Chain A
Amino acid sequence: MTFFLQNLVNALQWGSFYALIALGYSMVYGVLMLFNFAHGDIFMVGAYIGFGVATGIAALASLGMIALPGWITLVLTIIISMILTSFVGILVERIGYRPLREAPRASAAITGLMIGIILETGNLALLGARRISFPPMIESVTYNLGGVFVTNKKIMIVAVSISLMIALSQFIKKTKWGMAMRAMAYDYAVIPLMGVPLNTIAALTFALGSALAAAAGILFGVAYPVLDPYMGIVFGWKAFVAAILGGRGSILGATLAGFLLGFIEIFVAMIFPSTLRDLIAYSIILMILVFRPHGFFGEPYSAKLRL
């Protein structure tokens, strides 16, 4: 039982990363009918921006200009990096996708792949091939809860992730911006006729998704403090799987599917040798998709693409 609970805690943490990244995929797919294949690399860029911000704050602290407790540094790093990375997302939409909005979907899809490669190799050119270690910021403390070991970092990661997911879903349910996103996911062509600036909503969608990916990147850096320029690829693919499994544009779906992926991976690894983890885990997920081809939820939408 404790073994099970131990893995449950790990799965929650692992699923948080997938879910946060999957949300960005899902929103862009829902609102713009677009697979943003650069999104995994936005997660990577977010982690590096987080590294930069945390290092910057640490440098200021060492000069004696500011003295901040680790928790505050972490919170500041997350907030500042989310904002900065959202601008990266806006830029990607503006340069990579907006000019191709009327183009065949395949062109937009390869645009994503190219932007991904550019972000990876751009990073390589900028910082070199070395791996970078993420600054620790907070001391690790381990609690023993009846034989289940939980670190303060794990609790923080899961709590921050879930708070961000709740904040996002409230934003989408309650604000006029969120309402415009929902409407755009349903019928894109009519949006301008409501006096709603379509480009602004597109940019907002990218900004939100990128901010969440940045949060995932930093939380990942806190848990596994080694960054490399290709870290976003596998994560991106898996989060993409979660987004599709969750159902088109569904916030709840992407969140649950992200956690489900985490659970399946961790529990498969608990039973089988870890080299077989993804083989078995993704065979299971493939079976789920075969039986639920539209994913778990999937928002309704009008099939008409033009006016």
Chain B
Amino acid sequence: MLNVKNLTVSYDRIKALHGIDFQINEGEIVCIIGANGAGKSTTLRAISRLVPVGKDTTMTYDGKNLLAYPPDKVVSELGITHVPEGRRLFGNLTVLENLQLATFSVKDKQKIEQDLQKVFSIFSRLEERKHQKAGTLSGGEQQMLAIGRAFMSGRKIMLLDEPSMGLAPLLMIDVFEALREINQQEGTAILLVEQNARLALQFSQRGYVLESGNLVLEGNSDELLKNPEVRKAYLGG
């Protein structure tokens, strides 16, 4: 469904990604694991069209050339949404306004209302706090809202940048269960990038290992979990 070939990204002439290839199929949960600075966030930024890519890069989604879409259209027309690192909520807006803003380009009022109800049924805490400013939420609630926002704006593929960051283990489980529910009920494909490799591999079906801007390994997640190199480098032996 999403096909990325020879993806290169440079920041001020320093290469962060050296030509990586990967794909995401319909309804799949895929992860990219890697250390801090490996280029995980950059990969997601490239898909969301927030950073320029090299001239030999090709990215297609359902046969469409992703590179022809500006960032807002990647979301509103292709339904590829991005939950950024650190959540990045609009802290001055209420919970409800954060969710509504994500539907800025959605015309169908009825669909907006239905989606809102779905978000509230998945994350009931958000409904209780819907008139509260997003800046006043706890870390877990903020992550739920960040995911809820992506859910509202379109959900063919959800790109998640370190959703486990800063969350207590129990909340982490809540968040990942909610993600699985979205994946199963809506058929949303998920691309998860994580430093927490164990969590990411347990949650996903397939995985890639990113090292200094190169993909060095790929495979089914349960195999990667058993792989000695992966165990040594990412799972603490």
Task: Tell whether A and B belong to one assembly.
Answer: yes
The tally of residues in B whose CB lies under 8 Å from a CB in A reads 32
A293 within 8 A of B: no
Contact string against A for B residues 45-82, beta-carbon threshold 8 Å, 1 for contact and 0 otherwise: 10010100000000000000000001111011000011
> What total of A-B pairs shows CB separation below 8 Å?
86
Give the contacting residue for B92; candidates A176, A192, A300; CB below 8 A: A300
Contact B70 A192 (CB under 8 A): yes
Which residues from 180 to 210 on chain A have a C-beta closer than 8 Å to any C-beta of chain B?
180, 182-183, 185-187, 189-198
Contact A193 B48 (CB under 8 A): yes
Given contacts A176-B100, A176-B104, A190-B88, contact A195 B75 (CB under 8 A): yes
Contact B82 A176 (CB under 8 A): no
Given contacts A182-B93, A299-B92, A300-B91, contact A307 B50 (CB under 8 A): yes
The tally of residues in A whose CB lies under 8 Å from a CB in B reads 24
Which residues from 81 to 113 on chain B have a C-beta closer than 8 Å to any C-beta of chain A?
81-82, 84-86, 88, 90-93, 97, 100-106
Given contacts A190-B84, A194-B153, contact A300 B101 (CB under 8 A): no
With the chains together, A179 CA to B93 CA distance in Å? Answer: 8
B154 within 8 A of A: yes
Give the contacting residue for B76; candidates A190, A191, A195; CB below 8 A: A195
A304 within 8 A of B: yes
Contact A301 B92 (CB under 8 A): yes
Contact A195 B104 (CB under 8 A): yes
Which residues from 15 to 68 on chain B have a C-beta closer than 8 Å to any C-beta of chain A?
41, 45, 48, 50
B149 within 8 A of A: yes
A302 within 8 A of B: yes
Closest to B150 in A: A193
Set of chain A residues within 8 Å of B81, measured between Cβ atoms: 193
> Quick one: which of A185, A190, A191 has the most chain B CB within 10 A?
A190
With the chains together, A307 CA to B81 CA distance in Å? Answer: 14
Give the contacting residue for A194; candidates B73, B85, B101; CB below 8 A: B101
With the chains together, A301 CA to B88 CA distance in Å? Answer: 11
Contact B91 A193 (CB under 8 A): no
Set of chain A residues within 8 Å of B48, measured between Cβ atoms: 192-193
Contact A304 B88 (CB under 8 A): yes
Contact B88 A187 (CB under 8 A): yes
Pairs across A and B, CB under 8 Å, 20 listed = A179-B93, A182-B93, A186-B90, A189-B50, A190-B88, A191-B72, A192-B75, A193-B75, A193-B81, A194-B101, A195-B72, A195-B73, A195-B75, A196-B105, A197-B70, A197-B105, A198-B71, A299-B92, A300-B91, A302-B88
Set of chain A residues within 8 Å of B100, measured between Cβ atoms: 176, 179
Rank and list the top 3 A-B pairs by shortest CB-CB distance, nearest first: A192-B71, A195-B76, A195-B75
Set of chain A residues within 8 Å of B101, measured between Cβ atoms: 176, 179-180, 183, 194, 196
Set of chain B residues within 8 Å of A179, measured between Cβ atoms: 93, 97, 100-101
Contact A192 B93 (CB under 8 A): no
Closest to A184 in B: B90
Set of chain B residues within 8 Å of A191, measured between Cβ atoms: 72
Contact A194 B84 (CB under 8 A): no
With the chains together, A125 CA to B82 CA distance in Å? Answer: 50
Set of chain A residues within 8 Å of B92, measured between Cβ atoms: 182-183, 185-186, 299-301
